[in-house]
Amino acid sequence: MESKKIGYGVWGIGFGVLAIMISCSSSPKPNVQSASATDAEQPKINMAAELAKIDTMLKADTPNTTVAHESYLRALDMMEDGKIIFAELFYKRALANEPTSHFLLDELIKILLKQNKSGEAFPLLKLAVQSPKATGDNFLFLARLYRENGTLDSAANYYKKAAEKISGNLGVLYEYAQLLELVQNFPELKRIYDILLPELDYPPRLLEKQLFLYDKTNTSDSATAVLLGEAFKANGIQYAEYGFLQAEILSNLKKYHEANEVLLTIFYMHPSKEFTSKIALKIANNYEMMDSITVAIVWLEQLLTSEPENHVALNNLGYMLIDHDKDVNRGLSLVEKALHRSPEESSYLDSKAWGLYKIGKYEEALKILEKLEASGMKANELWLHLAKVCEALKLDERAKAYMAKIKE
């Protein structure tokens, strides 16, 4: 049991505490579990040491100090004997005689929570957190009660304050992170993960949460890439998905060469058909972004040699041949094959329209692109293609409007 001190600083609770204690028995109880129900059983109390500490705190000129002191000692006796309900009564008597003592209020709250009397503890905790002497546990216990009662915004507010009060407590931060996930406060969740992750040596459960956060926010950052890389290196091929995601983030950060190194590592560790297709598509795209078009084409050609029906590779290679004026007619033929297998895919239709534009069939290209726009497709690539086609058809005002969309 931690050392006990009675503090007598007045902070505004006054005798209202006594009124709350009397009314608590009839108050509705939130359907929650005690925040401290899992605390380990308290060890035996060194009564002599406790008495010596308390005596130094007593003020001879404070009314009712002696009564509060005696009630507190009786409460300690009851706790030592395992008679919790009697200890609670003596704590209440002590607080009634010293209603401004935050220490006694805090002790009463803990013993109420220990007995799952959250309905009684709840209003006392709301008072406790108003004190300049409020502890991190006060904020934490109140946050837990709000969470279990379904008042998640209030819970998040008190978890944040608890984390600030109990600085460096990873358990509190993890609880807070779980709640932030529920309320979908992803910017704050990311801030908490940035604190947690370096301290916890990448445990799988927390790594899953980080991936959840990335999926929700789609925000690429180097810290997440490093985290995924560490997990991949430590666990090998069974964590290949983390490697793929690391490569995706690196690509988003325009670190294409680093991304390809990760992808090749996966390939050489496990050159299966499942991974080969995925790796080839990503590597080819990265090479294209680095303006290494020839190398990108080689990767896609090799993939189609082994998977001639891969419609993603058919479209990607076809578009690459069209866009870079390598072989527009062959590119259109490949895109048509992709559309045969997936006729409604908007990106394939866009590729076809771009190929038609390249061979001078502007009206046909415009019809396809207008249908894509009408379907709700929104992408800079679509606006660029529409602008170029409209420009070729001397529809200058429309061309300007589409170019303006790119800059929005």
Supply the pLDDT for residue 361: 96
Q: How far is 125 from 139, CA to CA, in rounded Å?
A: 8
The answer to whether the beta carbons of residues 163 and 169 sit under 8 Å apart is: yes
Chain segment 84-119, per-residue pLDDT in tens = 888 888 878 877 777 877 887 888 888 888 888 888
Helix, strand, coil percentages (3-state) for the chain, rounded to 5, are 75, 0, 25
Supply the pLDDT for residue 82: 81
Supply the pLDDT for residue 328: 96
3-class secondary-structure state, position 73:
helix
Pick from 144, 146, 150, 148: which is nearest to 171 by CA?
Answer: 144
Region of residue 325 (left: phi > 0; alpha: psi -120 to 50; beta: else) = left
119 to 13, 24, 25, 112, 355: CA distances (angstroms):
19, 7, 8, 9, 70
Q: How far is 145 from 229, CA to CA, in rounded Å?
A: 38
Supply the pLDDT for residue 215: 63
Residue with tokens 């109990």, as numbered in its chain? 166
Tell me the HSE value of 204 on the side-chain side, using a 13 A CA sphere. 4
Specify the CATH architecture of the domain 314-408. Answer: Alpha Horseshoe (1.25)
Supply the pLDDT for residue 214: 63
The answer to whether the beta carbons of residues 155 and 143 sit under 8 Å apart is: yes
Extract the residue ranges of the chain whose pLDDT is less than 50: 1-43, 58-63, 202
Per DSSP, the residues of 230-249 read HHHHHHGGGGHHHHHHHHHH
Pick from 168, 224, 225, 213: which is nearest to 195 by CA?
Answer: 168
How many of the other CB atoms lie within 10 Å of CB of 25?
A: 9
Supply the pLDDT for residue 158: 87
Please, what is the Cα angle at 312 between 336 and 259, to 5 degrees? 145
Supply the pLDDT for residue 231: 67
Supply the pLDDT for residue 49: 57
Supply the pLDDT for residue 353: 96
The answer to whether the beta carbons of residues 225 and 249 sit under 8 Å apart is: yes
Name the pTM for this structure.
0.52
Supply the pLDDT for residue 119: 86
- Residue 149 DSSP class: T
The answer to whether the beta carbons of residues 210 and 227 sit under 8 Å apart is: yes
Q: Quick one: tokens of 54? A: 């308390």
CA-atom Rg of the chain in angstroms:
33
Chain segment 315-364, per-residue pLDDT in tens = 999 999 999 999 999 999 999 999 999 999 999 999 999 999 999 999 99
- What are the start and end residues of each CATH 1.25.40.10 domain in the chain? 314-408
Q: Quick one: tokens of 308? A: 């001639």
Q: How far is 42 from 33, CA to CA, in rounded Å?
A: 19
